[in-house]
Amino acid sequence: MNTLRIGLVSISDRASSGVYQDKGIPALESWLEQALATPYQLERRLIPDERQLIEQTLCELVDEMGCHLVLTTGGTGPARRDVTPDATLAVADREMPGFGEQMRQVSLRFVPTAILSRQVGVIRKQALILNLPGQPKAIQETLEGVRDDAGNVLVQGIFASVPYCIQLLEGPYVETHAQVVAAFRPKSARRENVG
């Protein structure tokens, strides 16, 4: 059984140059630790907002490291240095527009400026690449979704669809802890008593 491999890429001029501590990768690590029931390996990269370097890093994680999932954080706004979506689209085989649409739906529950986000989801070879927001709170919200006080899901987070997408790309069977995020897949694609 091949192990789930996840690439985490934090894209920030200031964090990569040591001006301040990166918060993106620790936030992603912490969330994955709570959410995933399936064993996994991480590849971490902290890089500046340089389009060519972002493209090279994404290609390296997918083509050389064999990642099934790559999560980026940072660089998705309209500012001139925000080039993460452009780099992601440049290395994509196919775009998965639903991921970006849903992330903006989640974020619009909290801030009207979510409409300025250019986050994208794409497929490159065997991997799903997702651009996440830069703030730890927004990362969690877009992955998990929005719940009311009783715990009912008001807006689905994007991670509910990630395990099935990885399965369709012939990657490992990924299971989550349902109290964090319930992985959705059609009945025909479920494995009973995986263990």
Q: How confident is the model at residue 1 (pLDDT cuts 50, 70, 90)?
A: low
Q: Is the confidence at residue 80, as pLDDT, over 90? A: yes
Give the pair of three-digit tokens for residue 179: 């109290």
C-alpha span between 3 and 172 (Å, rounded): 7
Phi first, then psi: give them for residue 40, nearest 5 degrees. -150, 160
Condensed to tens digits (0 to 9), the pLDDT of residues 14-66 reads: 998 888 999 999 999 999 999 999 999 999 999 999 999 999 999 999 999 99
Condensed to tens digits (0 to 9), the pLDDT of residues 99-125 reads: 999 999 999 999 999 999 999 999 999
For the chain, the structural domain boundaries read 4-189
Flag whether the pTM goes above 0.85: yes
CATH of domain 4-189: 3.40.980.10
C-alpha span between 137 and 125 (Å, rounded): 30
